[in-house]
Amino acid sequence: MPWPGVTVTLDECLSSQAVQALREARLDAALLRAEIPEEAGLAVHRLLDEAMVVAVPATHPLAAGDAPRPLTDFAAARFIAFARVEGPGMFDATLSACLKAGFTPQLGQEAPRITSALGLVAAGLGVALVPDSLRRVQMDGVAWCALAAADRPTVSLRLATRREAGSPALRNFVALVRRCFAMPDEPGSPAGT
């Protein structure tokens, strides 16, 4: 249901900046890839766990073919590192997936955002593990490699709000997002109060 007088404004920022803006009441809600610690003042709703793929330069030898590959095929590649201090979700997901596959990734250039990482991949500076939904981004110079089921890591998408944020518009927004992801409302959350 629409809310007259309510405007949804989208802004890209780092997870650490979004969490700080929530704490300071400069944001009502934030979509995050980072796993944030439970805090008394924040409500965090896990929306989905999304499979990851490897973004590679279009000229990379592994860019050819559509067959899913084991992550170990990329063990010799230089990985674009995500800035852990500013957004630990993607950094941790990359490191964890590589270690689970049996190798320590060679970290190269650091990117503050996923979109920046894709630009570095297109420039031939390395490969990056990214959420599968980024395949929809058409960027010259980037190819996508699916991972074999046994090696396919996931990264979570979360909705965070202030617990005390109880405006009807925000409650409606949280309920709408949860419905979009087929999640029931939780007691004590802005949508469940």
What are the chain's domains? 15-48+156-180 (3.40.190.10), 49-154 (3.40.190.10)
What's the pLDDT score for residue 185? 56
In terms of pLDDT, which residue wins out, 17 or 36?
17
Q: How confident is the model at residue 170 (pLDDT cuts 50, 70, 90)?
A: confident
Burial (0-12, 13-18, 19+ Cβ within 10 Å), 146: middle
At residue 19, does pLDDT exceed 90?
no
Q: In this predicted model, which residue has the larger pLDDT, 64 or 69? A: 69
Match 């802004």 to its residue by tokens: 11
Q: Are 114 and 90 in contact (CB under 8 A)?
A: yes
Residue 68 contacts residue 132 (beta carbons within 8 Å): no
pLDDT at 70: 95
DSSP 147: B
Report the alpha-carbon distance of residue 90 to residue 71 in Å, rounded: 16
Contact (CB, 8 A) for 120 and 109: yes
- pLDDT of 93 strictly over 80: yes
CA–CA gap between residue 178 and residue 188 (Å, rounded) = 14
* Residue linked to tokens 């000229």: 59
Average pLDDT of the residues of the chain: 86
* Residue 187 pLDDT greater than 70, yes or no: no
Mean pLDDT, range 90-99, rounded to an integer: 90
pLDDT of residue 190: 53
